[in-house]
Amino acid sequence: MDRTLHVVLMYSLTKLGFVFFFYSGDIISSTTEGHWVAITLGIALNMLMVWAYMKGLSFFPKQDIISIYVGIGKWAAVLFLLPLVFYLIVVNIVTIQAFSQIITLVFLANTPIWAIMGLIVVISTYIASNGVDAIFRTGFLLAILFVPFIFFVIVTSFHNVDLRYLFPLIDQKFSFLTKPAYLHSFSAFSVSYLFLGFIQPYFSYSRRKMMLTLTALVPFFFLSVYLPLLTFGQATASTFKFPFIMLVSTVHINWLMFDRITMFLLLSLITFTMLFISIVLWEISRILHRSMPKVKPNYLMITTAVLIYSACLFIQNWESIEKLTMWSTLLRFFVFLIIPCSIWFIGLRSRRMIKDESA
């Protein structure tokens, strides 16, 4: 069954949640000039990895990445899938904690953070427990409801733009390449496309339309960084953990019934994030179920959700989140670079073996 529309919507929504929340702060913190160079490099590498990943998967049309690695041998499954599970768990922990803290700061100052985290985990687990089809249907509904809000927020964010902050255009030293903030910016790329390798036995999709979707999302990466820069300037924008959210909080519209449009942005990002947490939980349960086939997937999913929530309770502040993201840097690039390249290499190897046998 072709689900191209659902696939590109899922990818787009989960990507937007990270771009407007984490990505802008990471890029602005990593360099003081020529931000477009850092953005372009990340986007180009992401497109290359997604293409390699989908190309490798195309050699195994009825298999997911679990079956592909198991087909090579148990050693391959352990080598590639064990780090992947650990990283997916870390990503969910960081995502839940980070969004819970921003919700506490902006919306629910008097609500305990453990209650907010619990609500996010429960809703995400419930969506994931109904299967990938339910996740896709939810994504389609969220796209209809909240994507117009995203476009509305972006248009209104041009209110205080000063084009003089655009210069200088070139970072001659390329020092951002070794900055921890720039390395963390790849978290916006490293996980979003992995679900393509898990849905393959259930649905088909167009690789060409997927690449077109990646191209269509490019402006959002630039807007998430340059709108805060052109409003506050580099010196001020670099002091904010969430520059785009700070930008939106400064926009006031007289005819709007709400005091700030931050509400529109955060509601959209929160729903996109819960969708992302759901698909990651589903991926984890798929891997665990393959290693423990006698245990029902939903039991594994609930256990994983409880483990993630328990870990979130031990994180007390934003500094702890930053330490966790730094510790997971190697895992991030393992997932971002090694997983798609290995699938592509295994696919090429399989095709050569088939040609040799037919010859």
- HSE-up (13 A, CA, CB side) for residue 50: 24
| Confidence check: pLDDT of 48 > 90 | yes
**What's the token pair of residue 37?**
């160079």
The predicted pLDDT at position 349 comes to 84
Q: Counting beta carbons within 10 angstroms of the beta carbon of residue 317, is it exposed (0 to 12), middle (13 to 18) or buried (19 or more)? A: exposed
State the Cα–Cα distance between residues 13 and 220, nearest whole angstrom: 12
Q: For the ranges 91-95, 101-105, 204-208, which has the lowest average pLDDT?
A: 101-105
- Supply the mean pLDDT for the chain: 84
The predicted pLDDT at position 298 comes to: 86
CB atoms within 10 A of CB 308: 26
Q: How confident is the model at residue 1 (pLDDT cuts 50, 70, 90)?
A: low
Q: What 3-state class would DSSP assign to 310?
A: helix
Q: What is the pTM of this model?
A: 0.90
pLDDT number for residue 359: 53
Q: What is the mean pLDDT of residues 287-312?
A: 88
Are 293 and 285 contacting, i.e. CB atoms less than 8 angstroms apart? Answer: no
Which H or E element spans position 62?
none
Q: DSSP 3-state assignment of 204?
A: strand
